[in-house]
């Protein structure tokens, strides 16, 4: 569990914890407040029931009853992983929560000996692109017109973060 201090007026801080299936209900409002196509509690419940899906949630330290600050969900298959979604509630954005959630996912994947982490992001999503680039993600693909936005269609960028583990072939 990691503490994450940040400096708003109330001096709240978050801890990053492993997501459990029971958290599904808390993810719905955060997702609905940050994405145009919200996912239901059943969607989250089903995903969190998959053996290969894992995630982390940012909870306010010392106040478990409060709405969580954000969460990340990912899937690991063999040695390749993908970010399924990440969302930080608007009032807690730009305070380091998203970075801490991604950092927790990356640490989990290093420990699991994963080699690559993929994600897809709207080319117009500047905050997410800045976050991913700051974490070392590189663009490896582009699907033009993938997302429908209020002002037309935009491309999905596929990004990859190399996790540095290599098969040695030595059989050790
Ligand atoms: C993308 C998102 C998860 C980032 O979460 P966050 O908690 O606000 O991000 P952080 O505060 O940890 O920011 C980490 C870095 O990301 C970049 N970043 C984040 N928000 C940014 C913004 N609005 N503008 C520019 N850069 C931004 C910066 O590099 C930042 O580091 P800095 O603050 O030291 O400059 C959040 O904006 C969000 O939930 N957006 C809506 C949902 C979404 O788009 N998810 C991604 C789908 S692919």
Q: Can you give the pTM of this predicted structure?
A: 0.92
Instruction: Say if 150 falls within a structural domain.
Output: no
Instruction: Say if 163 falls within a structural domain.
Output: no
Ligand 1 close to Cβ of residue 135 (< 6 A): no
Ligand 1 close to Cβ of residue 59 (< 6 A): no
Look up the CATH number of the domain holding residue 60.
Answer: 3.40.630.30
Percent of all residues in the chain with a pLDDT value above 70, rounded to a whole number:
88
Q: What is the pLDDT at residue 26?
A: 95
Instruction: Say if 26 falls within a structural domain.
Output: yes
Alpha carbon distance, N-terminus to C-terminus of the chain = 31
Note if 120 is an active site residue: yes
Instruction: Say if 127 falls within a structural domain.
Output: no
Instruction: Say if 143 falls within a structural domain.
Output: no
For the chain, how many structural domains are there in total? 1
Mean pLDDT value across the chain: 91
pLDDT in tens, 89-147: 999 999 999 999 999 999 999 999 999 999 999 999 999 999 999 999 999 999 999 99
Q: Is the pLDDT of residue 5 over 70?
A: no
> Quick one: the chain helix, strand, coil %, rounded to 5?
25, 40, 35
Owning domain of residue 16: 4-119
């Amino acid at each position: 569990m990691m503490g994450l201090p940040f400096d708003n007026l109330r001096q709240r801080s978050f801890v990053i914890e492993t997501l459990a299936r029971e958290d599904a209900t808390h993810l719905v409002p955060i997702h609905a407040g940050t994405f145009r196509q919200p996912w239901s509690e059943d969607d989250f419940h089903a995903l969190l029931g998959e053996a290969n899906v894992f995630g982390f949630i940012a909870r306010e330290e010392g106040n478990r009853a409060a709405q969580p600050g954000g969460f990340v969900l990912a899937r690991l298959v063999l040695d390749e992983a993908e970010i399924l979604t990440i969302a930080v509630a608007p009032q807690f954005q730009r305070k380091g929560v998203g970075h801490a959630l991604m950092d927790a996912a990356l640490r989990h994947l290093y420990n699991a000996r994963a080699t690559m982490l993929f994600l897809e992001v709207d080319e117009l999503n500047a905050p997410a692109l800045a976050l991913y680039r700051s974490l070392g993600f590189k663009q490896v693909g582009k699907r033009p017109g993938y997302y429908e936005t209020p002002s037309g269609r935009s491309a999905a960028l596929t990004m990859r973060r190399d996790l540095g583990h290599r098969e040695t072939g030595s059989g050790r």
